[in-house]
Amino acid sequence: MIRLLLMLGVVAAILAVIMILGGAALGAVFTSDRKSPRRPMSAMTRAWMLCIVMVIVVGVATEGIALVPAMGIAAIGLLITHIVIDSRTGSTTAREPSPQEFERARLVEEFGVDGVELLDDAQAAIDRIERSEAATDGWLGNDLDFTGDLTAIRENRRATLELDGLVKELGALADPDSDDLAMLSDARTKARQLQCQSRQRVDDLLMCAAKAEEIDQSLRDDRARAQIAEQRDDVRSRMAAKLYGIDAAPSQAPSSSVDKITALAAAYAEIRGKVDREGGD
């Protein structure tokens, strides 16, 4: 009996080692053929089939005694396989860049990071202008066109990058003479001028956007004042009708019932006083 239990323990330990180490191996092996031309059987399906076969073999070999431990160890192996496959899939699956990201990368390559920031600021200012009520209602004219501003910024940025490249190329040459140094100085100055011109265009667009929004606020204030004036006129007219209508209405005399009650009450008071006086005598 002791030998049988010892044998079962050894078998269970061996199975545990095989399934734990094999789980990682299965995940690697089953995911290694993902680039096959034909669609293979899924990795977890093959892992399940292998575990079922191993459990059946262990159950038959031990006459069912080690069947339950084998099933538990197989479950552990399947769990490890699932974790390994998920980790490999997550590490090898790369998200495709969106069209916007492709376009952004192209602009950065063409104009540099600073140039893209200038273009972003300019486009944001243009969007603010075009969305404003002042623009849509024609307060800013009907021929707004900012194509020239964006084109100038792009061309200035291209020229700046070309000058920067030439400056680096000429500056890398050995033994620069006076002409080289003068050209380098002029090129750096010109690059700064182009950058300042682009920045000034963006600032002008931002100023125009702020002016358009000021006009929008003024238009909103005018509408609010007009609404308040309309409400004021309505309330005044109703109040005047009520107030002056009361003064113009003819005064109405008290009803006969009022006179009757007043006379009877006075007579009662007189009779009551006379009775009280006679009773006192």
pLDDT per residue over 127-171, tens digit each?
999 999 999 999 988 888 999 999 999 999 999 999 999 999 998
Q: Which residues have a Cβ under 8 Å from the Cβ of 74 and sit 6 or more positions away?
A: 19, 51, 52, 54, 55
CB 134 within 8 A of CB 212: yes
| Alpha carbon 179 to its chain's center | 54
Which of 160, 210, 214, 211 shows the shortest CA–CA distance to 188? 160
Q: Where does the pLDDT of residue 14 fall: very low under 50, low under 70, confident under 90, or very high at 90 and above?
A: low
Averaged pLDDT, 44-54:
69
Task: For residues 33-60, give the mean pLDDT.
Answer: 61
- pLDDT bracket for residue 214 (50, 70, 90): very high
Look at residue 156 in the predicted model and tell me its pLDDT.
Answer: 94
- Supply the pLDDT for residue 33: 45
